[in-house]
């Protein structure tokens, strides 16, 4: 009975947590006159809201911008974090511990404090209104570095020594030994990075001076402020913005759970 009540409580909390998401998706399929009704399911379901949002209101372009920025930024930030983690976990060099502590201490600084100096640098380099200005300033990922270091410390040093004896280069050791063995943690870091860049609003709003470079969060905010009466259209736009992240988590949840679990144990 104790287990039953635990599962029952979890189910109730899950229903409460998912009900706004369910209502958003259902409303996205309703015609505009039905959008504010209390009917649970649409009487006349339609895809017109999604078609209008994607074609008439440029959300297809916003989606493409978000996909490019989130994919490139998450890939390269995860790659750099993994390479740095390999150095901190398996190499000895002067000032390693001090440098690692300095990196970790930067996590205690609120992210908003970095916005002004980052914007000044991007403006000075002429990167405003460009993909470079949206991607490059966020390629350093200290949390991913910390997580991967804890994971890589648990790998046996004998594997690296054996590879060196066989004449393997550092890049070969990293790509053929370290990366496959830390794939769950790397996938977790990349997933978290992708989510961060997909949902990033403030920085993309500051850098994107042209509507053609708007990402989904920026385009959605502008759309909501300009179409307060189009409730069904706003729900369709919100669904388009949320679904890729939800599907990505569902597809990669095995790696995500495994990476978080291993990181917690090894940490």
Residue by residue, DSSP assigns 17-76 as HHHHHHHHHHHHTS-GGGTTS--SS-SS--SHHHHHHHHTS-HHHHHHHHHHHHHHHHHH
**Nearest-angstrom CA–CA distance, 219 and 142:** 29
Predicted pLDDT of residue 266: 47
As a CATH number, domain 59-266 is 1.10.3720.10
Which pLDDT value is given to residue 110? 85
Q: Do 138 and 70 meet the contact criterion of CB atoms below 8 Å apart? A: no
For the chain, the distance separating the N- and C-terminal CA atoms, rounded to the nearest angstrom, is 35
Provide the residue ranges of all domains of the chain, joining segments of one domain with +.
Answer: 1-46, 59-266
pLDDT of residue 251: 77
Q: Which pLDDT score is estimated for 184?
A: 85
Give the integer Cα–Cα distance in Å for 199 and 51.
Answer: 22
DSSP annotation string for 97-131: HHHHHHHHHGGGS-GGGGHHHHHHHHHHHT-TTSH
How many residues appear in the chain?
Answer: 267
Query: Residue 262: what pLDDT?
Result: 56
Residue 137 is given by DSSP the state G
Instruction: Report percent pLDDT > 70 for the chain.
Output: 94
Spans of the chain, pLDDT less than 50: 263-267
């Amino acid at each position: 009975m104790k287990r039953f009540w635990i599962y029952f409580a979890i189910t109730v909390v899950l229903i409460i947590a998912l009900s706004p998401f369910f209502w958003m998706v259902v409303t996205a399929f309703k015609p505009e006159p039905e959008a504010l009704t209390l009917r649970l399911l649409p009487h006349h379901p339609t895809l017109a809201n999604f078609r209008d949002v994607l074609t008439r209101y440029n959300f297809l372009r916003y989606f493409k911008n978000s996909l490019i920025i989130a994919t490139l930024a998450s890939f390269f930030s995860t790659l750099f974090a993994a390479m740095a983690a390999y150095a901190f976990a398996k190499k000895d060099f002067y000032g390693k511990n001090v440098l690692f502590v300095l990196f970790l201490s930067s996590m205690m600084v609120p992210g908003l404090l970095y916005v002004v100096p980052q914007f000044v640098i991007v403006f000075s380099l002429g990167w405003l209104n460009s993909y470079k200005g949206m991607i490059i300033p966020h390629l350093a990922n200290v949390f991913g570095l910390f997580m991967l270091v804890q994971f890589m410390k648990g790998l046996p040093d004998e594997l690296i020594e054996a590879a060196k004896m066989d004449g393997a280069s550092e890049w070969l050791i990293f790509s053929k030994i370290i990366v496959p063995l830390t794939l769950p943690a790397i996938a977790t870091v990349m997933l978290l990075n992708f989510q961060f860049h997909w949902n990033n609003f403030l920085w993309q709003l500051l850098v994107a001076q042209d509507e053609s470079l708007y990402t989904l969060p920026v385009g959605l905010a502008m759309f909501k402020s300009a179409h307060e009466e189009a409730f069904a259209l706003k729900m369709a736009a919100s669904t388009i913005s949320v679904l890729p992240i939800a599907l990505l988590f569902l597809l990669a949840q095995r790696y995500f759970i495994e990476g978080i679990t291993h990181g917690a144990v090894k940490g």
